[in-house]
A and B are shown apart, each in its own frame.
Chain A
Amino acid sequence: MVAPLLVAPLLLLFAIFFVVPFVEIMRISFSGQGGALAGATWLMSSSLFAVIFLNTLKLALTVTLICLGLGYPAACFIAGQPASQRGIYLALVLLPFWTSVLVRTYTWALVLGREGLLNASLIWLGLSDEPQRFMFTPLAVHLGMVQILLPVAILTLVGVMTELDPGLARAARVLGASPWRAFWHVYLPMTKPGIVAAAMLLFILSLGFYITPALLGGPRHRTIANLIDLQVHQMNDWTSASAMALVLLATTIVAVVLLRWLVPDRTLHGGAG
């Protein structure tokens, strides 16, 4: 009888702060002034939405891939350290993670700005005669998002990698695999669950990014989250905003299902055993 009570607070919290608003959003998106399909009609007809939606998907995908590409070797390195020293490296990864996203984003603005650190360095090094434009470019958005999300990638991957039996790579070596082939045929496939988990997390988080694109990308590099904000605060159009929120949710679900389908459960849970 106690067990159900243990999850009761969480269920209550979810009911109040997730289910209720979610139902409200559903209701709004299907009951605008233009009828039940007003939200859907707006989505279909808005070229702005189409462009921004595709850009958001592209951004989320590239940021996910860059984070995995940068995070995987770093995670390999950390997982390969003796347990006593792993904590130091994890702390180094966590340090920026504990810093507010807003602070980190503004810091990038300081670095990338016209009078920023990067421009100053380029001019001082003689690599550039005049300040280059970095702010409000895709580069700035990618840099900011990758820096913010990288710890998520590393922590997820390290978690899986430290669970691996190091004996497996040794077994591969003694049975005739070069270090590279032992990695390719044994280590990499065995870290697949970690890669999938990290990819899901990164993609879902990237899809909903708001502050970083808003501050570093400016009006020309908006994401869906920025557009939702725009519709609500500038246009006072809750119908289309809710419709977009639902599209975002649907995209997330599709992404998760797709990844699950690409990497079946069997491999996800077929750990060493």
Chain B
Amino acid sequence: MHPAFAPARTFSETIGAPISFQAIGKRYGGVPALHEFSLDIAAGEFVTFLGPSGSGKTTALNILAGFIEPSAGDVLIDGVSITRLPTEKRNVGMVFQSYSLFPHMDVRDNVAFPLRMRGVPKAERHARAEQALAMVRLAGYGDRKPQELSGGQRQRVACARAVVFEPRVLLMDEPLGALDLKLREAMQDEIREVQRRIGCTVIYVTHDQGEALTMSDRIVVMNEGRIEQIGTPAAIYDNPSNAFVAQFVGETNFLTAALARGRLTFAGVDAPAPARLPEGWRGRMALRPEHFTRVVAETGGAPTLSGRIDDIAFHGGSYRYVVETEKAGRVIVQEQRRHGSDGPVVGAPVTLKFSLERAAFLEG
């Protein structure tokens, strides 16, 4: 049975569908916006397309939604090609950055719109709209006009509208981009909660790496129409596969390094090389700000960098400061506050220790 015509359910069953992008290409004029984009997404998975503007993430999403026709390749939902299917027949829910609520309809009619388009009788679609509104904690707001709601409320209405017909795939195009930070964090939790209850497959597009790390089962990092890396948030954070990913996801300090005769040399330091690196390797080490520890006396054999503290930012539970090092330029350090110990002082000389085990080694 067509999911839209299924009897009203309490959003609880797993209804997600697997999605497969198969070598999707898209060119505008001669310029490729998306190149050989291939990706398999499991049923019920929450996948984020992360990248700067122009990376192709929105193009990929719009191809799945049917707003853009790919120049090459095929998209499958639940094993069935949808590339030739008109947008309205793809049965996917979608939330937009600009909310795109219909200003001439009240909230109830907005949420019930997808059901109306699917021929659901009025009484039933109103009941289901109310149910969807309750899920996003907006029960009783049905009679309001979208213009009378706050930004966060509008986006929750947009979410309710996108899931009211129980789509197996939910697309979210920078849905929180227009909201302020606090609200954004609250909405991140809420969206995950809704997704867990419905079980639909979600593709979430954002340029906010923090959002991607918080929400996703897997992240697809994109740049200039290509996939740079696919992985879980932790895998991408800990093992960025190249400099772009290391820089785009989280903060990174790069140190140029070379390995010769079992020793790794960088920034005037000479340390035993990690076993995973081949002899003759040259490239850059990527170190996260929290990989450094400020040491007062004994380093215990770990490699160190020394310099002076510049620019300290107090972050509540931690400090974030810049160290002007003698041999490795500016290094960003994040330090947890510890009870009873002195915090960093601007201008003070400092020695930083770190472990090569946690560093990511990038070619080139």
Chain A bound to chain B:
yes
A159 within 8 A of B: no
Q: Which of B48-98 contact A (CB under 8 A)?
A: 65-67, 86-88, 90-94, 96, 98
B276 within 8 A of A: no
Contact check: which of A168, A181, A267 meets B100 at CB < 8 Å?
A168
Task: Note all chain B residues with C-beta closer than 8 A to A192.
Answer: 104
Minimum C-beta distance from B111 to chain A (A): 10
B336 within 8 A of A: no
Closest to B117 in A: A176
Contact between A172 and B65, CB atoms less than 8 A apart: no
Contact between A175 and B104, CB atoms less than 8 A apart: no
Contact between A174 and B104, CB atoms less than 8 A apart: no
- Contact A174:B88 (CB < 8 A) given known A167-B96, A273-B147: yes
Contact between B118 and A176, CB atoms less than 8 A apart: yes
Closest to B158 in A: A171
Task: Note all chain B residues with C-beta closer than 8 A to A170.
Answer: 67, 87, 100
A272 within 8 A of B: yes
B18 within 8 A of A: no
Minimum C-beta distance from B288 to chain A (A): 38
Q: Which of A143-195 contact B (CB under 8 A)?
A: 165, 167-168, 170-178, 181-182, 185-186, 189-190, 192
* Count of chain B residues near A, Cβ 8 A: 29
Task: Note all chain B residues with C-beta closer than 8 A to A272.
Answer: 103
- Contact A175:B94 (CB < 8 A) given known A181-B117, A270-B145, A273-B147: yes
Contact check: which of B67, B145, B165 meets A176 at CB < 8 Å?
B165
Contact between A189 and B104, CB atoms less than 8 A apart: yes
Task: Note all chain B residues with C-beta closer than 8 A to A270.
Answer: 103-104, 145, 147
B354 within 8 A of A: no
A271 within 8 A of B: yes
A166 CA to B4 CA, complexed, in Å? 26
A167 CA to B175 CA, complexed, in Å? 13
Contact between B87 and A173, CB atoms less than 8 A apart: yes
Contact between A174 and B92, CB atoms less than 8 A apart: yes
Task: Note all chain A residues with C-beta closer than 8 A to B161.
Answer: 175
Closest to A181 in B: B117
Contact between B113 and A172, CB atoms less than 8 A apart: yes
Contact between B117 and A175, CB atoms less than 8 A apart: yes
A residues with CB within 8 A of B: 165, 167-168, 170-178, 181-182, 185-186, 189-190, 192, 267, 270-273
Apart from the given pairs A173-B86, A175-B114, A176-B118, 16 other A-B contacts in the complex at a CB distance below 8 Å: A170-B87, A171-B96, A171-B100, A172-B113, A174-B90, A174-B92, A175-B88, A175-B93, A175-B117, A175-B161, A175-B165, A176-B113, A178-B88, A185-B116, A270-B145, A270-B147
In the A-B complex, the 4 residue pairs with the closest CB atoms: A176-B117, A171-B100, A175-B114, A173-B87
